[in-house]
A and B are shown apart, each in its own frame.
Chain A
């Protein structure tokens, strides 16, 4: 499929999730996954300002990406943090040559097998709400076209966070960021509950919850809520069949 066509499809898919009963974590999760696909990278993660002076990881495509992002937060060093602090794009960071600038991050990223890292700000005028981070395995850098798409995805993430509400309303932004943080925690709690009940891994638990949400047209957080409340038995959450 032509890339433009796929791009249009993804935009429609994302716009489609921005309905009244909108699930911010689910939206950001889909966005990071599509970003990896469209921009031709290998992993992505998204961090948001927790409004307490820190960043928190709210969406990620795989475990190594999440761990690397957490590592960055713990060590308070890395391109994503610099991107958040300055609001500037930090793209095509060649990890074989970045040890002088970010020694701890570079070592951890190389250990995860990444060769390039890219960070794009979630920007609302002068305010930076978070950062979208992409990691690449292999030797190719991102083209300007890819970077434009990636920044477009970061902008869509910002729009999604603000939803269709007035962009100047700082109050709603605070409400939305806090909701995203707690929805993420709720989903993690539900993954734990489901994995213990069904005797499966937490990542399998996540796949089953997402699958169930899609199949039944529910929000991911509603499904997580039902799992936690015991209202949704694990036998109703079917294993995910890999259709690829």
Chain B
């Protein structure tokens, strides 16, 4: 994931078109024909962020309009929806979407929710013009792109630059527990709390896990100081 972000960054020093660059890089790295990325808030779909080609754009908009489709399900249920053969599986599950997808020449869709536990920021959708599953390596690559996209959208929503390519899917429970604590202390949502934590760690040049432990043992309190990082 770090490599993916670094490569996208290299072409976008101010970070303004990071989502588009990520989508393009994802379409190149994987055997897919198009990639779409949509923003999601607690209230529902909040608009398209990137689409690499006409079919991806069309299918993103179709699902948004219909309110049904693999990407909508992935986002709502918070789990990947992998559809290697749309012609076989989609008509029953998403009748309206299936027609549009097949008309647009799309035969497989792989939709990955962009989330960190309860924080849901969007969905990354891979489209392909032929049927077939992703291999284990391709799935790993797609999940890494999803992690990078999660980080980019998380910071984009909070209006904060992406600070350091530190994984959002941190394996340390402390980071996620501290996110919960900070959200209460600073009276903000979890997404903003995570951005606050990351910003503070980055500004102080210390590991995120260290800061998280300080939050948990009460050494650092995000409620007492007005420091929006």
Contacts and interface: CB of A to CB of B under 8 A. Distances in A.
A191 B180 contact: yes
Contacts of B140: 51-53
Contact of A193 (B1, B133, B147, B180): B180
Interface residues of A, number: 39
Question: Considering the complex of A and B, which 4 residue pairs feature the smallest CB-CB distances, nearest first?
Answer: A192-B180, A185-B117, A188-B176, A196-B184
Interface in A193-244: 193-197, 202, 224-225, 228-229
A228 B80 contact: no
Contacts of A197: 184
A178 B190 contact: no
Nearest to A196: B184
A24 to B, nearest CB: 10
Contacts of B117: 182-189
B157 interface: no
Nearest to B112: A178
A229 B190 CA distance: 9
Given A175-B80, A182-B78, A195-B180, A57 B118 contact: no
Pick from B116, B144, B181 the residue with the most CB of A within 10 Å: B181
B79 interface: yes
Interface of B: 1, 78-82, 84, 115-119, 133, 136, 139-140, 143-144, 147, 169, 171-173, 176-185, 190, 216
A175 B190 contact: no
Contacts of B136: 51, 170
A95 interface: no
A66 B177 CA distance: 15
Main secondary structure of the interface of B (DSSP, over half): helix
Contacts of A73: 171
B79 A52 contact: no
A92 interface: no
Nearest to A57: B171
B181 A196 contact: yes
Nearest to B180: A192
A193 B184 contact: yes
A48 to B, nearest CB: 11
B173 A174 contact: no
Given A174-B82, A189-B117, A194 B180 contact: yes
Contacts of B184: 192-193, 196-197
Contacts of B81: 175
A202 B115 contact: no
A179 B79 contact: yes
A202 B184 CA distance: 14
A191 B212 CA distance: 13
